[in-house]
Amino acid sequence: MQRGPTMRLAGAETTGGARNQDFSKAMCLEDPGLLSDATEQVEDLRDEVARLTDVVNAQRMEIRRLRRDAVRDVLTGLLNRRGFERVLERSIAFVSRYQSDVALIYADLDNFKSINDTLGHAAGDAALKHVAEVLLQALRRSDVVGRIGGDEFVALLWKSDECAARAVAREVSDALTRAPFVHKGRSVLLSASLGVATLAFEDSAAGVLDRADRDMYRVKSR
């Protein structure tokens, strides 16, 4: 009896596959270098993939760093002017929508130039870091702190009217007095003039910063 075409096809494939496997084995036995070369190529490809993966990961980390540095002050880690103004603009929109009290404190260090002149710029940088730490400790977690100039710091206070903001400004001033900056065993008392402004629905970031800045200079001139 003649077998069906399916059986012949399956048999042919099986026989052909066996012949191919036998041929491959024979080639490897006759020339072991073929298997060695193939193994080396696979290893080379794995190394290349690993290298490219490292490059891609490094690029991703660099992109994240650049995005972070675009809105962060490199020295203190606080928001820089660009980052703080973004938060300020969103806060103004929030005030306009929900009629919430939000205030801004503008701090300018007193006689900071003398630290750079007498102790050096490295000491000045360390002093700025110290001020940033004092501000973060003195303020609430919900408050937003930034450094927008050489020795100019700002803080955005949620749920704070002008009276509350001025009380916080006094607390910040006292905190600086209680925690003097120490450089190479020398204690340096830091102080700051602090101005206050409250956010209004018609404000812009530049406008509220300007009002707080002018209030700060009014305090400094006393």
Task: Give residue limits of the domains in the chain.
Answer: 5-71, 81-220
| pLDDT of the residue at 211 | 96
Q: Using CA atoms, how far apart are residues 29 and 27, in angstroms rounded to an integer?
A: 5
At 87-103, the pLDDT tens digits run: 999 999 988 888 889 99
Q: Supply 109's token pair.
A: 């260090």
Architecture of domain 81-220: 2-Layer Sandwich (3.30)
Q: Sheet of 144-147: strands edge to edge?
A: 144-147, 152-158, 102-109, 192-198
pLDDT > 90: percent of the chain: 55
Q: Are strands 192-198 and 102-109 parallel, antiparallel or unpaired?
A: antiparallel
Strand partners, 145: 155
What residues have CB less than 8 Å from 123, skipping those under 6 apart?
115, 116, 183, 184
Cβ contact 71:89 at 8 Å: no
pLDDT > 70: percent of the chain: 76
Buried b (16+ CB within 10 A) or exposed e, 109-135: beebeebbeebeeebbebbbbbbbebb
Token match 């360390």: residue?
A: 126
Does residue 151 have an active-site annotation?
Answer: yes
Neighbours of 93 (CB within 10 A): 13
- Say if residue 27's pLDDT is above 80: no
Mean pLDDT (whole number) for 83-90: 93
Single out the catalytic residue among 108, 143, 151, 213.
Answer: 151
User: What is Dmax (Cα atoms) for the chain?
Assistant: 118
- Residue type for position 113: K
- Say if residue 178's pLDDT is above 80: yes
DSSP 159: T
Token match 């919900």: residue?
A: 142
- Residue type for position 19: R
- Name which of 116, 112, 133 is nearest 176 in CA terms: 133
At 103-137, the pLDDT tens digits run: 999 999 998 999 999 999 999 999 999 999 999 99
Q: Supply 110's token pair.
A: 């007193």
